[in-house]
Amino acid sequence: MTAAQPSRLQFGAFVMNTGSHMQHGLWRHPEAKQHTFDDVNLWVDLAKTLERGRFDTIFFADVVGVYGGAGASFDVNAREGMQLPSNDPSMLLSALAISTEHLGLAFTSSILQEHPFTFARKISTIDHASGGRVGWNIVTSFLENAARNYGLDRLVEHDERYAWAEEYVAVVGKLWEGSWDDGALLADKASGVFADPTKVHRIDHVGERYRVEGPHLSSPSPQRSPLLFQAGSSGAGKAFAADYAEVQFMMAPSIEAARASAESTRALVAETGRDPRDVKFWQAMSFIVGSTEEEAKRIEAEYDELLSADAFLAHSNLGTDQATGKPIDPDTPLKDVETQGGHSMLEALKALSPDREPTVRDLAKLTAKLRGRVVGTPEQIADHLAEWRAAGIDGINVANWMIPRSYEVFVDEVMPVLQDRGLAQREYAPGTLREKLFGAEPTLPETHPLRAYRGAFAGR
């Protein structure tokens, strides 16, 4: 298999079905509409805007609990709308599918929240409905409250969560890749054969956590397995990504850190026997755009006024002790706090204030700036993105300050400049999301481990 390596960057819109996803406090801006996230039309209109701008995907982050330790107060979360309330992103996808033609529809779903038999069918349904445009961001949940919403006493230990994810991915992979052979579905009115029974199989999965008989209830969708996104940055997370991910998300603090991280993951990918070109690396960034640098800086100052330190602190998952739920003194040095994943900002913070030990309070203040904020004119932004592309980064997951305004500005003012420089596509490639991003076949490449389930259940 040869994966084409386009010189353009790929673009995702990094959103969440909630009022305050990452840039907390901005929902209060007069032009912001993210507080109306209950309204499906906010998302339908956004998807149309993104397709007009030739974005590759809309990508929904998600969590299935509130930030804060076990039993902690979630007063700040509620008051700030900090990912509370939030809605299920998967339930929006068919509306977005019929409102667009090309836009990829990617969403986050945790192994905690759905049984793999249910999840596999859900994905097949929406991949059918969208003509093969679905992506799945595989996550394991890192919030104590999420664990306690699903009957666990506390969060499963980090590496054990990845072992759980391995089995989860195996179950859904068996259903997507192995349960139905190519050509099983006939729907032939003349012969009266709907599906060829010799090509439909039980999977008889028996594992540590799941026993699943099958067959998969849905026939193979255009992509079979959805495009697989992954964002883990720990050792276990990177190993998992090397095995399965087709797009790896990053929130690297610098181009050099991103390049190093991508290169180390590519090496891991090659060790598994996969082609390293079968994994794309997307960096999260947010943009503040002005027609002049001065205007951009003025807007930046305006946004900074609205930023809520309380919400950033709660979002850092450091506002309370994870085990006891007790509040943490914001002057506590970060090095003394048990982190439990969920933020990768510590090293960057140390780099920003090398002269003193960063505290919990510093994290809250600096998170917004650290999250790949780029401020400038469209030309300056294009210059900056060209550097990331030159460093081997394949895509940018564009976070927002305001929905839909941040994307309207990006589409109308930045995209044309990027297109002129060959850094962004002017038209979509044909086919499924996987074909659009890789220029190859609609289903997983031969060397992907889930492909091993193709034909594995013949005779069952």
Q: Which of residues 280-309 bind a second copy (CB under 8 A)?
A: 308
Pairwise CA distance, residues 184 & 410, whole Å: 44
Identified binder of a second copy from the candidate list 14, 60, 117, 282, rule CB under 8 A = 117
Work out how close the CB of 192 gets to a second copy at its nearest, in angstroms, rounded to a whole number: 6
Work out how close the CB of 367 gets to a second copy at its nearest, in angstroms, rounded to a whole number: 18
Is the Cβ of residue 217 or residue 270 nearer to a second copy in the bound state? 217
Identified binder of a second copy from the candidate list 74, 346, 392, 419, rule CB under 8 A = 74
Pairwise CA distance, residues 217 & 201, whole Å: 10
Is the Cβ of residue 94 or residue 419 nearer to a second copy in the bound state? 94
Is the Cβ of residue 125 or residue 332 nearer to a second copy in the bound state? 125
Question: Binding to a second copy (CB under 8 A): which residues in 3-62?
Answer: 17, 19-20, 25, 27-30, 32, 35-36, 38-41, 44
Question: Binding to a second copy (CB under 8 A): which residues in 250-269?
Answer: none
> Are 54 and 437 in contact, with CB atoms under 8 Å apart?
no
Is the Cβ of residue 109 or residue 265 nearer to a second copy in the bound state? 109
Question: Binding to a second copy (CB under 8 A): which residues in 131-150?
Answer: 145, 148-150
CA dihedral (67, 71, 74, 76) positive or negative: negative
- DSSP string for residues in 177-207: IISB-TT-EEEETTTTEEE-GGGB----EE-
> Are 121 and 216 in contact, with CB atoms under 8 Å apart?
yes
Identified binder of a second copy from the candidate list 46, 50, 84, 106, rule CB under 8 A = 84
Pairwise CA distance, residues 366 & 332, whole Å: 16
> Are 147 and 110 in contact, with CB atoms under 8 Å apart?
no
Residue 437 found at the interface with a second copy (CB under 8 A): no
Residue 430 DSSP symbol: S
Residue 327's beta-bridge partner residues? Answer: 320
Q: Report the 10 Å Cβ neighbour count for 437.
A: 24
| C-alpha distances in Å from residue 279, one per residue of 106, 229, 383, 406, 453 | 16, 9, 24, 28, 20
Q: Which stretch binds a second copy (CB under 8 A): 84-92, 245-253, 287-295, 400-408?
A: 84-92
Pairwise CA distance, residues 308 & 155, whole Å: 28
Is the Cβ of residue 113 or residue 140 nearer to a second copy in the bound state? 113
Work out how close the CB of 171 gets to a second copy at its nearest, in angstroms, rounded to a whole number: 10
Is the Cβ of residue 54 or residue 122 nearer to a second copy in the bound state? 122
Q: Report the 10 Å Cβ neighbour count for 37.
A: 23
> Are 178 and 203 in contact, with CB atoms under 8 Å apart?
yes
Residue 320 found at the interface with a second copy (CB under 8 A): no
Residue 208 found at the interface with a second copy (CB under 8 A): no
Work out how close the CB of 222 gets to a second copy at its nearest, in angstroms, rounded to a whole number: 10
